[in-house]
Amino acid sequence: MKLLIRRRVRRPPDLTSLFDVLFIVVFAALIRAAAAEHAAAHPPPPPRPVAPVVPPAAQALRQHALADLGADLAARTPLVVRITRDARIDALEVGDKRIAVDVPLLEQSRDLDAGVTYLGDRGADLRVCKIAAVRLGASELSHYLVIIAPALPLADLRHALFDGLHRDLDRCLTEQHGLAALIDPAALAPAATPQKTP
């Protein structure tokens, strides 16, 4: 019986794939070297300095704020609320229209030391801007500049009326969306002209 002995023939290693890998490595190295040379020859421009943000000056902000407020006030319709010497609203004036009103702003207080109290502190319906809105048939006063004009100088008003009217200035904005101003008639009086001495 013959034994067949097969000899294993060794194949030479696959040189094709080894050359491919070597080629890729050399090619990548060449590309990297070319990129580094180009970067060295053409450095990137230095970054532009960032200009610091300078906040606007307070005076400029003030001027813009006053201009905005002035434009808002100029767009509103003036509504004059006339207050008599005995602390009653007696008229509303809008343009050429005058609406007669007779609403008291003060009442005798049960507290004898207080004397009188401001009615607007007791309820929203008794405040200047609410009274004006009701008489005008308006739901709010957002389109009006409410000008509260007492007949007496502010220094001569009763304490309760003086304080109550000032509280109503804030309430007018929060409750009726109207801007209100309390005008001192003493500031409107013409200054006395000095008389010439003979």
Q: Express each pLDDT in 110-138 by its tens digit.
A: 766 668 999 999 999 999 999 999 999 99
81 close to 89: Cβ distance less than 8 angstroms: yes
User: One-letter amino acid identity for 127?
Assistant: R
- Residue 132 neighbours by CB distance under 10 Å: 27
Task: Tell me what percent of the residues of the chain surpass a pLDDT of 90.
Answer: 52
Overall pTM surpassing 0.85 (yes/no): no
Which one has a higher pLDDT value, 14 or 59?
59
> Sorting pLDDT into bands at 50, 70 and 90, what band is 153?
very high
CA 23 to chain centre: 69
DSSP 3-state of 78:
strand
Q: Tell me which CATH code domain 76-186 carries.
A: 3.30.420
79 close to 145: Cβ distance less than 8 angstroms: yes
Express each pLDDT in 46-98 by its tens digit: 788 877 777 888 888 889 888 998 898 889 999 999 999 999 999 999 999 99
Domain ranges of the chain: 76-186
| Per-residue model confidence (pLDDT) at position 15 | 55
